[in-house]
């Protein structure tokens, strides 16, 4: 999806994000046993002719009877090494556990990539700066400075062809949409057990996908 995404407009990217969230919601919350994908990244999101997104490549997927299970075998212990490191939850780096909350972290990274056009390993991220911190520094007043230039041009071109009144409405709606989506990964970032705790309290990290 990464190569093709550069030619997608904001609405198309939002729809893709919703499709992936719906798939994650089903796998995590509506299967008889929770399914942990273990390799959610742009190249594993496939678009069909109708621009509907599908999550593919379940070669590393694991079934989990609970939302979070301690690693118990060499096969599971190596999952953090097999998965694309940049998209893996931080706790996987220390072989902590394979969990659905870790998949939510990967989904957050995917969202930020779609909106900024930057990967977690972008060369501009130095001296402790990463994709999450990059976005947090921009929220909420400087979002347009970190948005993918392709999306930014789309907003500007739409504004240039609209009336003064509609131009203001269009810019406001686009900004509101971008801020709302970028805030999601910041909230869902997994660095400790708090996300797993919230998951248990709410029953699911994707309680309602519209």
DSSP 58-77: -TT-EEESSSEEE--SHHHH
Cβ burial 187-207 (10 Å sphere, 16+ → b, else e): ebbbeeeebbeebeeeebbbe
pLDDT confidence of residue 96: 53
Position with higher pLDDT, 185 vs 68: 185
Could you give the CA distance from residue 169 to residue 202 in angstroms, rounded to a whole number? 35
Q: What is the pLDDT of residues 153-183, one digit of tens each?
A: 877 776 665 545 444 546 778 888 888 888 8
Q: Give the confidence band of 190 by pLDDT, cuts at 50, 70, 90.
A: very low
Residue 193 confidence (pLDDT) above 60? no
Give the Cα separation of 66 and 92 in Å (integer): 17
Q: What does the pLDDT read at residue 153? A: 82
The pLDDT, as a whole number, for residue 35 is 78
Strands annotated E in the chain: 34-36, 45-47, 53-55, 62-64, 68-70, 97-99
Non-local CB neighbours of 152 within 8 Å, separated by 6+ positions? 144
Domain 2-202, classified CATH 1.10.600.10, yes or no: no
Eight-class DSSP state of 82: H
Q: Which residues of 147-162 are buried (b: 16+ CB within 10 A; e: fewer)?
A: bbeebbebbeebbeee
Burial of 185 (0-12, 13-18, 19+ CB in 10 A): buried
Phi, psi values for residue 14, rounded to 5°: -65, -45
- pLDDT bin (cut points 50, 70, 90) of residue 186 is low
CB atoms within 10 A of CB 52: 11
pLDDT of 88 reads: 61
Highest mean pLDDT among 31-40, 64-73, 114-123, 197-206: 114-123
pLDDT digits (tens, 9 = 90+) for 30-55: 777 777 777 778 888 999 999 999 98
Q: pLDDT digit string (tens) for 64-101?
A: 665 444 434 444 444 433 446 566 665 555 455 655 56
What does the pLDDT read at residue 146? 92
The per-residue pLDDT for 4 is 58
The catalytically annotated residue of 19, 39, 50, 164 is 39
Instruction: Fill in the DSSP letter of residue 84.
Output: -
Mean pLDDT of the chain, nearest integer: 71
Greater confidence (196 vs 138) lies with 138
Task: With 0.95 as the threshold, say if the pTM is over it.
Answer: no
Listed by start position, the domains of the chain span: 2-202
Comparing C-alpha atoms, which of 129, 121, 88, 93 is closest to residue 105?
A: 88
- The question of whether 39 is a catalytic residue gets the answer yes
């Amino acid at each position: 999806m990464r190569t093709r995404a550069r030619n997608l407009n904001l609405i198309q990217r939002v729809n893709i994000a919703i499709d992936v969230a719906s798939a994650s919601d089903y796998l995590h919350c509506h299967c008889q046993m929770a399914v942990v994908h273990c390799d959610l990244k742009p190249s594993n999101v496939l678009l069909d002719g109708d621009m509907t997104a599908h999550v593919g490549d379940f070669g590393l997927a694991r079934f989990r009877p609970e939302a979070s299970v301690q690693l118990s075998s060499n096969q599971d212990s190596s999952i953090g090494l097999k998965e694309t490191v940049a998209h893996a939850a931080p706790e996987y780096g220390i072989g902590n556990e394979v969990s659905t909350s870790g998949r939510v972290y990967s989904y957050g990274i995917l969202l930020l990539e779609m909106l900024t056009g930057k990967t977690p390993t972008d060369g501009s991220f130095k001296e402790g700066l990463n994709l999450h911190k990059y976005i947090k520094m921009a929220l909420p007043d400087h979002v347009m400075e970190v948005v993918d230039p392709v999306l930014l041009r789309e907003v500007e071109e739409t504004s240039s062809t609209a009336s003064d009144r509609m131009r203001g409405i269009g810019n406001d709606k686009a900004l509101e949409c971008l801020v709302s989506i970028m805030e999601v990964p910041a909230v869902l970032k997994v660095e400790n057990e708090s996300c797993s705790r919230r998951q248990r309290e709410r029953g699911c990290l994707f309680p309602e996908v519209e």
